[in-house]
């Protein structure tokens, strides 16, 4: 059952109030803070609701700009920040931060910002935003044609063999339980192709991969790696529930969008923009090296 639904039922809250409580850091799952209303929790998992708990310190609201010109902003999105608001009308989103940045740096009262792709709330890394209306369609076409390089760093469970390969597995919006997943027959899904290479293996417990998207379906990397038997560390959705707990706890999926490469459709310039891994991910990798060695 979703965490927000269980909180609503157990503590007599509306579903919206329960979601708000989780996002404000007022709910513990099995003794640990959880900020994900959509996380699946078992019926026997103990919950605690602390209505008077002060809000945890939030990520600094400064926008980290990796590249900009008059047409686009390429930014480094922190984990935990939505690309744009949901129907819940969250205030602190990447879209809102970009708007404040353009107001401050370009003097625009109501700056234009177009979204051409997204990464998950709890995935960090490179996101391209369009800040000129005439650039929106050319960049949408670029992503639609899959002529853009999209490279991710992922930490996954288990020993990955072969050391490099391709996962060609169509995905569906509903795998039968209301969630996205792999198609059981190719005709049922849309094409999805992920290329991977092992960068580092940590004993037989985990591996660091570089993943390159040939297509860009929602949750594609997470679905593909879980189907291959190597779920992303910390993935609350696609990691099989029967798996034993991972030996190094990590509060989000260990996935980082590390690079975008493309030919700028407005200027013809070839660009490759990179975002360094955040501290939590480098800390996880360092811990895995220390505990299980490296290969």
Active-site annotation, residues: 120
At 98, is the secondary structure helix, strand, or coil?
Answer: helix
Secondary structure letter of residue 54 according to DSSP = P
Neighbours of 270 (CB within 10 A): 9
Judge if the upstream peptide bond of residue 193 is cis by omega within 30 degrees of 0: no
Q: What is the distance between the terminal CA atoms of the chain, rounded to a whole angstrom?
A: 39
Inter-residue contact 71 to 102 (CB < 8 Å):
no
| Paired strand residues for 72 | 130
Helices marked H in 107-255: 133-144, 220-227
Inter-residue contact 96 to 81 (CB < 8 Å):
no
Helices and strands in the chain, H and E counts = 6, 15
Whose tokens are 């949750």? That residue is 219
At 222, is the secondary structure helix, strand, or coil?
Answer: helix
Pick from 242, 250, 264, 166: nearest CA to 209: 166
Give the span between the Cα atoms of 47 and 30, in whole angstroms.
6
Phi-psi category of residue 7: left, alpha or beta, with phi > 0 → left and psi -120 to 50 → alpha: alpha
CA distances from residue 281 to 58, 195, 270, 286 in whole angstroms, order as listed: 18, 21, 29, 9
């Amino acid at each position: 059952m979703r965490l927000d639904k269980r909180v609503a039922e157990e503590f007599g809250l509306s579903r919206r109030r329960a979601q708000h409580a989780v996002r404000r850091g007022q709910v513990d799952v099995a003794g640990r803070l959880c900020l994900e209303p959509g996380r699946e929790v078992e019926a026997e998992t103990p919950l605690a609701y602390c209505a008077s708990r002060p809000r945890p310190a939030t990520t600094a609201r400064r926008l980290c700009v990796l590249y900009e010109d008059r047409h686009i902003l390429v930014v480094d999105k922190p984990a935990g920040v939505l690309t744009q608001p949901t129907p819940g009308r969250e205030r602190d989103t990447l879209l809102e931060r970009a708007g404040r940045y353009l107001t401050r740096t370009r003097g625009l009262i109501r700056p234009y910002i177009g979204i051409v792709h997204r990464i998950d709330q709890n995935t960090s890394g490179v996101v391209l935003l369009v800040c000129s209306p005439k650039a929106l369609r050319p960049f949408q076409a670029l992503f639609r044609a899959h002529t853009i390089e999209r490279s991710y760093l992922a930490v996954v469970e288990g020993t990955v063999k072969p050391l490099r390969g391709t996962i060609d597995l169509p995905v569906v919006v509903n795998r039968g339980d209301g969630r996205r997943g792999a198609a059981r027959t190719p005709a049922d899904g849309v094409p999805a192709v992920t290329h991977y290479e092992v960068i580092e293996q940590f004993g037989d417990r985990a591996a660091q991969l570089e993943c390159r998207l040939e297509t860009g379906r929602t949750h594609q990397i997470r679905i593909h790696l879980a189907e291959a038997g190597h779920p992303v560390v910390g993935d609350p959705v696609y990691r099989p529930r029967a798996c034993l707990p991972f030996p190094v706890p990590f509060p989000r999926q260990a996935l980082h969008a590390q690079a975008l490469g493309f030919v700028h459709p407005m200027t013809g310039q070839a660009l490759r923009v990179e975002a360094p891994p955040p501290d939590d991910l480098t800390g996880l990798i360092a811990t895995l090296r220390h505990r299980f060695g490296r290969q």
